Structure 1
Amino acid sequence: MRKALLKVISAVLIFALLSAGGTTFADTEENYFKDVPKGHWAEKYIYELKDLNIIKGIDEENFGMGKSLTKGEFITWIQKVINMNQNIVLTPEEDKAALTRKEMAEIIVRELQLDGLAFESDIESVKKFLPYDDVKDDFGYISVVKDLNLMTGSNNKFNPDRAVSREEGATVLGRIYEKISKPVSYLNGFYAIDSYSQKDMIKDLNSVGFGWSRLEGDESQNKVVLNTTRDENNSFGFPEGFSEPLSIAKDNKVLNQLTVFSNDQNTLKYVLTKDEGRKKAIDQIVKKIETSFGGVVIDFENMKGEELKSGFNTFLSELKAELNKYNKSLYVTVPPKMKPPLAYYDAYDYRYIGEVADKVILMAHDYYPKSLKENERDSFYSNTPLTPMDDIYYGLKEITDENTGVRDKNKILLQISFDSVQWKIKDGKIMNDIPYHPGYELIRKRMAEDSSVEKQYVFGNAYLKYHNSEDETDNIVWYENENSVTDKINMAKLFGVNGISLWRLGTIPDYEDEGINLNIWNEILNAEGK
């Protein structure tokens, strides 16, 4: 369990006391710094971080107002806040050197696992949108801290080479901590394929989407079917004993919703662009949920193009109008936008969907390659994280964009998926062009029983390396652990997104073994403040 959880709980209590007019350790006169003027713009953050033992003064009586912050001091402070250690190595001279503003931006970005954004291939576009005419390098680092509203400039100046004062450093870290210390405010989960083993987790959710229907259509036959059976190889049908998880949700006042899935493009084109197809689909959905469900989750995937985008907007508007008649909710899943020049599924109008839907679920996962080309099998395995933090950042940035994103951030849920990816390597070459997906019990067992396993953490993702003596292969397995999940949740919070969705019950690691960091369910509950 990461120590950051204890800090989060402590911070929430402290902030609550402050807002309620309570007395904290710093409120007693003997614990004030003599050189921090009352009412100073940094006063709040200095004392909050001091009370949490994150920062300290230059001596018992003085904080060091106006004095330059050193690189070494700032790295120590930020690693306490984020609870990550990027192994930033400083010489003795660098450790004591005054920290500049651009150096502070770089350290923040590196500690947030966003190094890749500092080396964008399209750096010209980054420069174009920076409003500072005095920035000559480190464009990517400065762009990130600006986007997160952690560091800003004035009068078109960032002053990248100016030394950072101790109070400025405390203020930036206070902004970070204030955001990530807020508890998760909403937790959604999906109950679908093989979820029964974790049915009791439903009671700790705010809402649950039951993945028990698939939309099927055939324009040539003027037919639309909401398939809730297991016919036609439908994995998303009502299972045996479906009433039990439904009852758990209802008994615990958890919003229960029917998830309607489709990724068949012919079906989606008919349902979204044809009046008769749209009406048939909406009528069946509303009829199905009218008595047994509190709402619906629309999960239409892999859509591209303006025609489907326009049709999807119309479909959601008409569906919402019908749902409102029965006081039913509407949640919508959307894929993340990708960094240029990568293509992505672009038929999802974030702004419009955010106005119509009650919640918007950002499916920011499964970034790894689904197959490798022959020329990628030599070394590509080292660069296939499940959820690179750079991509999570970009997805959150786009869905919260003030002009094109979801206007109400309280509607956004960042979805976390519990997949895994394994590559088998022999003689320096990957043997499998399609990744294996070992279950988390196998991953747990490997780490618990094999002392030679090497555990690594890069790109905000965990992976392990081990040798299999049975087939004489070296293996790399990318997976989620407590650290990677917490880092994604914190990244969402930095963008003002405090809602989380989980795909799916039945796959969430909840192992209590020491040293393997796989009690993810407990980590999520702690993030909720439970």
Structure 2
Amino acid sequence: MSKSRKRLIIVLLFIFVIASFLLTGCKKAAKKPFAAKKSLNVVGFYVDTAGYDNSYSSLVRYAKNIDTLSPLWLTVQGDGTVKDSTNPKALDFAKKNGLKVVPLVNVADSKDSVLTDSKIKTETMNELISLLKKHNFDGYNIDFEFIPHGTKNYVQDKDYLTAFIGTFRMMMKKEGKILDISVIPHYQVSPEISGIYDYHKLAPLVDHVTLMTYDRHNESSPPGPVSPAQWVEYNVKDALNEGFKPKQICLGVATYGYDWPANKTGGFSSPTKTILQKAKMKGVNIQWSNTYHEPYYTYYDSTYGVKRQVWFENSTTMGEKIDVAKKYGIHGICIWRIGFETPSFWSVIVNKIGSK
């Protein structure tokens, strides 16, 4: 065989090997579908109710858009016992659909004995760990809110709350679980309500913080925006300045509003979808505040012969809050709560964040 012919055979074999390798690689690559990375995490707060605003329906319909489910299932009583109202059906559905389940842990009737009484505190922590194992939760979000009443003020419990989180963190990390906390914003919020949260000391102790940037105006205040845009952004900057890292912060976004007697206190909360239905039924025009970046409307209550005013969050405000979250590169958005929203909220989430 001539040298030239040998060279030709070697070249052809080389080409054949390379071609086979490339074809095999392409086939393997074709088996892996491309998935775009989501820009933010989406946490859905969940509450079991019997009405049309129940969270379960939204969970089933929009699970592909949610990363973490935070259900309100666990309440610490004054004696340290934990009331467990876990919904096995919702828990199973969330797990099967790849959602992390990180329940909220709240406290009954602002009972601060869970912080100040060492025996009660220990019993609470041990019971929470037991429930963590029983239900195979992925972690907890400590949502201890202590609302002043009478002469009782809970700011003095600030160090006790920090100590609780510090001790509980060690127990949670031993289990390899997530520990989050929900906090009331500091900026333009009374220290009597928000002063119990020491951002600087809490930041190193938790994985994520839910910044509850809603209820700027509420039942006890006169009418006004629920979650004004500038106030929300200032509170994100405040949290960053006080020690939380961007990837720790989850921006609380609302899916509800309030209905007040015009210019008076004594309002009541209502899901956005209910508020929009009422506006349509009454034929009122929904207005937009360029100052607060939030919709509102007024209507006449013929039953009591008074004017009423409604401020609420909608899909447009949701989009603006998502833009703020992206601007500061934070962890994501935490929705209070699923079941209150209209489908347009989820359209905005998919367009701006993506889905799994």
Q: How many Å apart are 1:207 and its aligned residue? A: 1.0
Output the CA distance in 1 between the equivalents of 2:197 and 2:230.
21
Per the alignment, residue 243 of structure 1 pairs with 88
CA contact (8 A) 1:189 1:202 kept: no
- Higher relative CO (Cα under 8 Å, sequence separation at least 6) belongs to 2
Output the CA distance in 1 between the equivalents of 2:133 and 2:329.
34
Residue 475 of structure 1 is aligned with which of 280, 289, 308? Answer: 308
Aligned length: 306
Q: Output the amino acid matched with 1:297.
A: N
Matches within 5 A, 1:246-285: 246-262=91-107, 264-265=109-110, 267-268=111-112, 270-285=113-128
CA contact (8 A) 1:191 1:211 kept: yes
Per the alignment, residue 220 of structure 2 pairs with 371
Residue 528 of structure 1 is aligned with which of 348, 353, 356? Answer: 353
Q: How many Å apart are 1:317 and its aligned residue? A: 1.7
Per the alignment, residue 32 of structure 2 pairs with none
Output the CA distance in 2 between the equivalents of 1:494 and 1:280.
42
| Secondary structure, aligned partner of 2:330 | coil
Q: How many Å apart are 1:342 and its aligned residue? A: 6.8
Output the CA distance in 1 between the equivalents of 2:130 and 2:184.
27
CA contact (8 A) 1:362 1:415 kept: yes
Q: Does 1:400 align with 2:244?
A: no
Matches within 5 A, 1:507-526: 507-510=340-343, 519-526=344-351
Matches within 5 A, 1:55-94: none
Per the alignment, residue 461 of structure 1 pairs with 294
Output the CA distance in 1 between the equivalents of 2:331 and 2:293.
19
TM-score, length of structure 1 as denominator length? 0.53
CA contact (8 A) 2:42 2:66 kept: yes
Q: Output the amino acid matched with 1:523.
A: V
Structure 2 CA distance for partners of 1:398 and 1:507, relative to 1, 3 Å: same
1:403-435 CA-to-partner distances (Å, cap 9, x unmatched) read x221x211110011222111344xxxx5x6411
Output the CA distance in 2 between the equivalents of 1:445 and 1:497.
33
Residue 211 of structure 2 is aligned with which of 356, 362, 378? Answer: 362
Residue 249 of structure 2 is aligned with which of 397, 406, 412? Answer: 412
Residue 276 of structure 2 is aligned with which of 433, 444, 449? Answer: 444
Q: Output the amino acid matched with 1:390.
A: Q
1:349-387 CA-to-partner distances (Å, cap 9, x unmatched) read 213222111111111111114235xxxxxxx54xx1111
Residue 181 of structure 2 is aligned with which of 288, 312, 332? Answer: 332
| Secondary structure, aligned partner of 2:214 | coil
Identity score, percent:
23
Q: How many Å apart are 1:481 and its aligned residue? A: 1.3
| Secondary structure, aligned partner of 2:125 | helix
Please provide the CA RMSD for this pair: 2.6
Output the CA distance in 2 between the equivalents of 1:294 and 1:358.
12
Q: How many Å apart are 1:306 and its aligned residue? A: 6.0
Residue 298 of structure 1 is aligned with which of 142, 155, 177? Answer: 142
1:180-224 CA-to-partner distances (Å, cap 9, x unmatched) read xx964211111114222212133421111121111012xxxxx32
| Secondary structure, aligned partner of 1:526 | helix
Q: Output the amino acid matched with 2:243.
A: G
Q: How many Å apart are 1:273 and its aligned residue? A: 2.7
Residue 225 of structure 1 is aligned with which of 56, 81, 87? Answer: 81
Output the CA distance in 2 between the equivalents of 1:349 and 1:341.
14
CA contact (8 A) 1:353 1:360 kept: no
Output the CA distance in 2 between the equivalents of 1:387 and 1:397.
15
CA contact (8 A) 1:296 1:330 kept: yes
Q: How many Å apart are 1:451 and its aligned residue? A: 4.6
Output the CA distance in 1 between the equivalents of 2:284 and 2:140.
47
Q: Does 1:348 align with 2:192?
A: no
Output the CA distance in 2 between the equivalents of 1:435 and 1:271.
31
CA contact (8 A) 2:155 2:191 kept: no
Q: How many Å apart are 1:284 and its aligned residue? A: 0.5
Output the CA distance in 2 between the equivalents of 1:204 and 1:442.
23
| Secondary structure, aligned partner of 2:197 | coil
Structure 2 CA distance for partners of 1:251 and 1:273, relative to 1, 3 Å: same
Output the CA distance in 2 between the equivalents of 1:415 and 1:447.
25
Q: How many Å apart are 1:498 and its aligned residue? A: 4.5
